[in-house]
Amino acid sequence: MVYASDLLLLYFSWEVIGLCSFLLVGFWYQKKEAAYGARKVLVMTHIAGYGLLAVILIIYARTGTTLWTDPKVATAFTSGLFLLMLLSAVAKSVQFPLYTWIRMPWLRQLR
C-alpha cells in the first residue's frame, strides 16, 4: 500500500487490509460474539474506505489522473480533502476517537 503510486491501487490495498482485519477478528466465527465483532469491524473499516474513495474520485474529477506523483494532484488537493483523508485513516487505523470497533469485551471470553 505504501509504495502505490496510483491512488486506485492504494484504495484496493486499503480494502484488503480491512478484509484482513475482518478475517482476523472473525476467526472464531462459531462464537456469536466473534461474529458480531467481525461485522462491526467490517462496517467501521468500510465506512472509512468510502471516505478515501470519495477523496480519490474528487481528485480524479479535478485532475483526470489518479497518479499521486502527478503535479496536477498537488494543486487539486485541498485542506478539505486532506481532512477527509485524515478522518478515513483515523477510522481505519483504530485511533482516538474512532477506536470503538476495536474495544471488544468478548475477546476476554475467547481465551
Q: Which triple of cell numbers denotes residue 99?
A: 477506536
**Structural contact between residues 35 and 87, judged by C-beta atoms closer than 8 angstroms:** no
Residue 105 has pLDDT above 70, yes or no: no
pLDDT tens digits, 16-58: 988 888 898 888 888 888 888 888 888 888 888 999 999 999 9
> How many angstroms from the chain centroid is the CA of residue 103?
17
